[in-house]
Amino acid sequence: MQHTIKADTGWRIWWQLTRPHTLTAAFAPVFLGTMIALTYGKLHFPLFFAMLLASILIQMATNMFNEYYDFKLGLDTEHSIGIGGTIVRNGVKPKTVLNIALALYAISVLIGIYICMQTSWGLALVGAISMLIGYLYTGGPLPIAYTPFGELVSGVVMGMLLILIAFYIQTGTVTTDAVLISIPSMLLVAAIMMSNNIRDLEGDKEGGRKTLAILVGRNNAITILTLFFVISYIWVIALILLGHLTPWALLVLLSVKKPINAISTFRSFTVPLQVMPAMKNTAITNTLFGLLLGIGILVGILFD
């Protein structure tokens, strides 16, 4: 059964192009990394805001590369679920989408130069590699998103690496605690990608993709997604017991209903439009988890 999806109009065309539901994957890790850094000293607000803005712009650009190359490869149609739809539904020229993505990258580079001037030029290499990966995720001769490594790459770059960069620009170093605390964020960003691939499994098969969800099958993919969630919460509890985190970090448990709902929806429905709430709950889990963990760390600083 085909579902008719209305085209956007006015400013909504450009807003949907950014795929706003994914932008939390850029915000939450930067916030969390900065809160971890706060346990080591004072906060440098200009660097925090610069890092946050650059991360969001890179995420937007990555989404636009995704939109452009999925259209070029014939994977997106006007009936596709969960895409920005700017090209196939709203008639925006593909070249325009590509140019906007490149412009956002250019702005990010300028912000990155400021961050490097304030911290270390070594970050320039890290930033360049991250941006290249963002492009290669759906661009290039062998897009990462079409392989079984999409979850791993997105988790490491958009989860762990963002936290560690945000931490580094505030402290000038990377500690074992920062790495350990970044693990759940890595898993939850990977969960966003896994949930996307579960939803698009049949369409991706037809498009020739070889995602992890396709290789292991839908039921096993949902099980892996469940493990991403479960390990994230258990990891925080373990870090508390081992003294790496304040007990206030248990605030993350306030978000536990969202992943439960996401898994329940994936187990109950298979039609892409029906599982969209699961996609949303997975993204919200990443946001709430990062925010609550960061807030827990901040409260621990203030009251412990």
Q: What confidence tens digit (pLDDT) does each residue in 178-236 have? A: 999 999 999 999 999 999 999 989 888 887 889 999 999 999 999 999 999 999 999 99
Which of 145, 254, 261 has its CA nearest to residue 210?
145
- Contact by Cβ (8 Å): 232, 182: no
Q: What does the pLDDT look like over 144-172, one tens digit per residue?
A: 988 999 999 989 988 899 999 999 999 99
Collect all residues with Cβ–Cβ distance below 8 Å to 228 and sequence separation of at least 6. Answer: 187, 188, 190, 191, 194
- HSE (side-chain half, CA atoms, 13 Å) at 250: 6
Name the DSSP class of 7.
P
Q: Look at residue 77 and tell me whether its pLDDT is greater than 60.
A: no
Nearest-10 crossing angle of helices 162-171, 24-38: 40
> What proportion of the chain, given as a percentage, has pLDDT over 70?
90
For 3, other C-beta atoms within 10 Å of its C-beta total 11
Q: Look at residue 106 and tell me whether its pLDDT is greater than 90.
A: yes
Tell me the pLDDT band of 298, cut-offs 50, 70 and 90: very high
Tell me the pLDDT band of 2, cut-offs 50, 70 and 90: very low
Please give the single-letter amino acid code of residue 287.
T
For residue 74, with 0-12 CB atoms within 10 Å meaning exposed, 13-18 middle and 19 or more buried, which class applies? exposed
Q: What does the pLDDT look like over 251-263, one tens digit per residue?
A: 999 999 999 999 9
| Cα separation, 150 vs 47, whole angstroms | 29
Please give the torsion angle defined by the CA atoms of residues 288, 293, 297 and 302, in that order, rounded to the nearest 10 degrees.
30
Give the range among 85-89, 156-160, 236-240, 280-284 with minimum mean pLDDT.
85-89
pLDDT at position 151, please?
94
| Cα separation, 23 vs 189, whole angstroms | 11
Q: What is the pTM of this model?
A: 0.85
Please give the structure tokens belonging to residue 262: 């996401």
pLDDT at position 231, please?
98
pLDDT at position 89, please?
63
pLDDT at position 272, please?
87
Average pLDDT of the segment spanning 64-83: 68
- Contact by Cβ (8 Å): 261, 245: no
Please give the structure tokens belonging to residue 171: 């402290």
Look over the chain and give the mean of its residue pLDDT values, rounded to a whole number: 88
The residue extents of the domains of the chain are 11-303
pLDDT at position 266, please?
97
Average pLDDT of the segment spanning 26-35: 91
pLDDT at position 20, please?
77
Q: What are phi and psi of 8, to 5 degrees?
A: -80, 165
Q: Look at residue 1 and tell me whether its pLDDT is greater than 60.
A: no
Q: Look at residue 38 and tell me whether its pLDDT is greater than 90.
A: yes
pLDDT at position 15, please?
73
pLDDT at position 88, please?
64
| Cα separation, 302 vs 125, whole angstroms | 35
- HSE (side-chain half, CA atoms, 13 Å) at 72: 16
CATH 1.10.600 fits 11-303, yes or no: yes
Q: Look at residue 287 and tell me whether its pLDDT is greater than 70.
A: yes
> What proportion of the chain, given as a percentage, has pLDDT over 90?
62
pLDDT at position 90, please?
64
Q: What does the pLDDT look like over 137-146, one tens digit per residue?
A: 877 788 898 8
| Cα separation, 45 vs 77, whole angstroms | 43
| Cα separation, 274 vs 141, whole angstroms | 33
Please give the structure tokens belonging to residue 261: 């709902």
